[in-house]
Structure 1
């Protein structure tokens, strides 16, 4: 009797299968966006690869392991996944690029509303980045 109750019914399996496909699709979509970010300097790569690892952990552990063991991005992804850490050099690069992007918004805007909104978002993001610990092991940066 308990074996019947512990076995998922057809509807539950169908729902799990749908979510599995959603996570797989998200994983590959984030990898594709991250790959575009390798070529385009204005699009970050690592956040999308972090999202891909998150999605693959729920759907395709082999793909997640491939990303975590990647020669170039693996150390950064592992540092975040294992420790929630961001290397100091990556922090400096991201804060510098965010400040540069904000200066461009300030320069190209007619008023102060847009720069104020963008600046507020970037200050919040920068604060979050700066408050993350540095990894205990030094990962190689891309």
Structure 2
């Protein structure tokens, strides 16, 4: 019973992450790849067939495998993520959000961008 529940939770996380990745593919404000990576990771814990499907997917499989093997991120993905973060940070400055949020969130985005650009490329 306990093992079946754990497997069900891993599968639920994999499905939730996959749904969020699909939403991210449609909505420009939401990322896709991080959710795909989580989906593949969770599937590996409780749904090997889904993990295999993701790893062999023609579009997403090579990126997931590159991340797993070397922590690699394609240059195009780095540029897209950086441009989206810059755009979000810029738009945030024209809102009525508190100053600490308008400064803090872009600072976190800048840290993420630095980390991202330090990742190897496939």
Question: TM (normalized to structure 2)?
Answer: 0.92
- Aligned equivalent of 1:115, options 99, 102, 107: 102
4+ long deviations beyond 2 Å: 109-112
Greater fraction of residues in helix: 2
The whole-number CA distance in structure 2 between the counterparts of 1:44 and 1:110 is 22
Could you tell me which runs of 5 or more consecutive residues in structure 1 were left unpaired when the two chains were aligned.
1-13, 136-142
- Aligned equivalent of 2:85, options 69, 83, 98: 98
Deviates more, 1:99-108 or 1:111-120: 111-120
Give the Å deviation of 1:108. Answer: 1.7
The whole-number CA distance in structure 2 between the counterparts of 1:113 and 1:45 is 28
The whole-number CA distance in structure 1 between the counterparts of 2:79 and 2:51 is 27
- Aligned residue number for residue 9 of structure 1: none
The whole-number CA distance in structure 1 between the counterparts of 2:44 and 2:111 is 28
Give the Å deviation of 1:15. Answer: 2.3
Change (3 A) 1:127 1:24: same
Any residues of structure 2 matched to 1:8-47 within 5 Å, and which? 14-47=1-34
Residue correspondences, number: 122
Which entry has the higher C-alpha Rg, 1 or 2?
1
- Aligned residue number for residue 82 of structure 1: 69
Give the Å deviation of 1:99. Answer: 0.7
